[in-house]
Structure 1
Amino acid sequence: MFDNLSLKLDKAFKTLKGQGSITEVNVATTMKEIRRALIDADVNYKVAKDVTDEIKEKALGQDVLTAVSPGQLLTKITNDELTQLMGGSHEDINIKGSPAVILISGLQGSGKTTFSGKLANMLKKQGNTVMLAACDIYRPAAIDQLKVLGEQIGVEVYAEPENKNAVQIANNAIKAAKDGGKKVLIVDTAGRLAVDEEMMNEISDLKKALDPSETLFVVDSMTGQDAVNTAKTFNERLNFDGVVLTKLDGDTRGGAAISIRRVVEKPIKFISHGEKMEAIDKFHPDRMANRILGMGDVVSLVEKAQQNFDEEEARRLNKKIRKNQFDFDDFLSQLEQIKKMGNIKDLMGMIPGMGKALKDIDVDDDSFKPIEAIIRSMTTEERATPDIINGSRRARIAKGSGTSVQQVNNLIKQFGDMRKMMKTMNKMGGGKRGLAALNPFGR
């Protein structure tokens, strides 16, 4: 998402390398590069100028310690300023009420319906009973799309396909949610243009009628600075509570994420990326600033792992590893759980330093397909006892998986090396201490 901005900011900080101190002269060049990087990322010009002026003012007032280079100090100051620019701290949604009503608004094609499904899935996993209301009465496939998403995540969808009164449908949905004992009702509305007065009146009427506990404005981050301008227009009519940035996995410059809080004065509450129902995150300004500056986001990575890894499965796996019984079925199970966490390249970008390393490398979920194909082409006996896989078996597995014998050999060798390492760790650590060394997030 922020690859280009990250690289340009990194280049800007390098202009201070070799400098013994921060001065008016050497910081001016760096500020110019930072301002240019922000504007290239589609950050509002006034916001970019204000931010760099603030960074410069703070930088010139700092004493550079012997153990800290001017570049490192400026990176820290920039990180603090970006964090404040994007809101300072995370602000959660309000789900008070019986039921709590969350109204979803935004432009056409911004990803409201998909986000509604993702939010319902997230709230359900947090222990809430949720209902979705299909109030997009204009787009032919909107109701069907929401029903498909609801079925996928196990959430009830309220719809009246023949009714063309959005306010009436929403009010009926509230009654249905109350009768069904639902804690949260998410109302998906039609996309509208800010210049369409009739449609803007409809969303305003919906808000007045529903009196939602939370109104969210969904914006496509790929529209750049236009996203900020549109959010401002919608806010004047709706006075929404928070912003949702979608399509952050696309080829976007990210300026909307950085400047929307300063311009609209409303917090970004969620970010959405990809089509998977798990591809939604709460927006944390400090973590996003870290990612922009190439520092990774280990906290979010660990949170994703905790959300998607089954505790019972983890205990079962731990037991098998201790007994040196880890097999290909277990390995396949772990791959499935990792894929649930989201886009692989995005996940790897959360590891400090990896974002820059992966810039020109194509890493996606398809990277696992050859491995999965090889394992699925093995017999039950071969998966449980890899040592029996001889030359003829390897040739059969390669043919069945559409891969080469060399690929099969490499996977079996790597799997064997991993099992040897697990065995060694068991002897060294006697359990948890040894197994901790195998944690890919801690190495």
Structure 2
Amino acid sequence: MTTIDLIAASAQPASATGQNDLKSALKFITCGSVDDGKSTLIGRLLVDSKAVLQDHLAGVQRGGETDLALLTDGLSAEREQGITIDVAYRYFATEHRKFIIGDAPGHEQYTRNMVTAASSADAAVVLVDATKLDWKNPAMELLQQTRRHSLLVNLLRVPSIVFAVNKLDAVEDSALAFNNISAALTAFAEAAKIAVKAIVPISALKGWNVVDAAETGWCGYTGPSLLDLLEHLPATPAETGEAFAFPVQWVEKFSSSSDTSQGRRVFWGRVATGGVQPGQTVTVLPSGQTAVVAQVLDHIRQPRAIPAGHSAGIVLDREVDVSRGDWLLAPDTFTPSREAAVTMAWMDDEPLVAGRVYWALQGHRWVKAKVRRIVHKLDVNTLAEEDASELPPNAIGHVELSFQEPLVTLPYLRSRILGSLVLVDTASHKTSGAALVL
């Protein structure tokens, strides 16, 4: 879909576009190579949308000028080195929409932080620094980190990917630079099978085409500004098309609201997939017991049916043994398994080797997981598969896991929730890896 198609579609009713609600908050990340201007771009969005207080602006002055990057680089090491290490989240809103921005690191050694931010994002803005490229050459090569991060956000199934060509104020011929860089990005995206929403020219430092549209025809571009584009991107839709699955987060054992729960226990959590309403039968994992839903409460304890993506309190028609970490599932739909083949983004400082045992977290359920085999490692620059006996820090590869107790999983391409697991070191309790079910 082109930029023009996207804007036109956003003017349609939600029922016509198939999108839930374009006014819902959009969670997006900025990523790309080191010093492409990610933190500066976020600072520009915050300042020009008037989301920064004057006293905060006064605290990020350097030499009489505002250093926009300091609005997001919060760690002392980030300020000293001028780099982004951890993911910084910032919030702002326009009259049309609310936004949650994640400033992801560009360094290769912090790939794990970038993967963490991308795993829950609705959109990714991949910055491309025009000054680092041979922009006069139509057959130029893109930077390695641009390719890496584009492939990673596509692998993590981020729904909307936008390329923002930055620092066009610093090149001699901005129109030629944008034309050649756009051609290189388009060729790369087609070869890598990445669906790109738009390619936008910007100058984060000057504020050109970020919040306010640039002069008509700047760089030969006639589309919307970056913020206009973001305001019309769809949020990730809830997984209502899958069968019902519900991770129990909290058990309200003795309800004081007898008028709503009839004195029975209420199982609270967020509906992962499908939906729940009174009268439907559910199966409890891991016990295998079945019961009928007697009542469904929303977050303010009002009875109503609840779709995926929303919190619910479920009252069953009889007392069954359900605890935090258990799942309520549609019966005869899922097949629990003790094995899974996954794409692993390894985050630990120690390499992943076969035979190691970790805690695996899915929803609120913890089970022991053993690494059966490392199938291969991915070259994150090309996604080519390489033979490997271990996964070093920040590497991504295909791994086979076995679980001490069965889990219900779906391929990550079908369900971001049922298709993802977190591995935690049993001794240090550090998050060691993020697994996407194949």
Normalising by structure 2, report the TM-score.
0.25
Bigger radius of gyration: 1
Structure with larger RCO (C-alpha < 8 A, sep 6+): 1
Larger strand percent: 2
Normalising by structure 1, report the TM-score.
0.24
Larger helix percent: 1
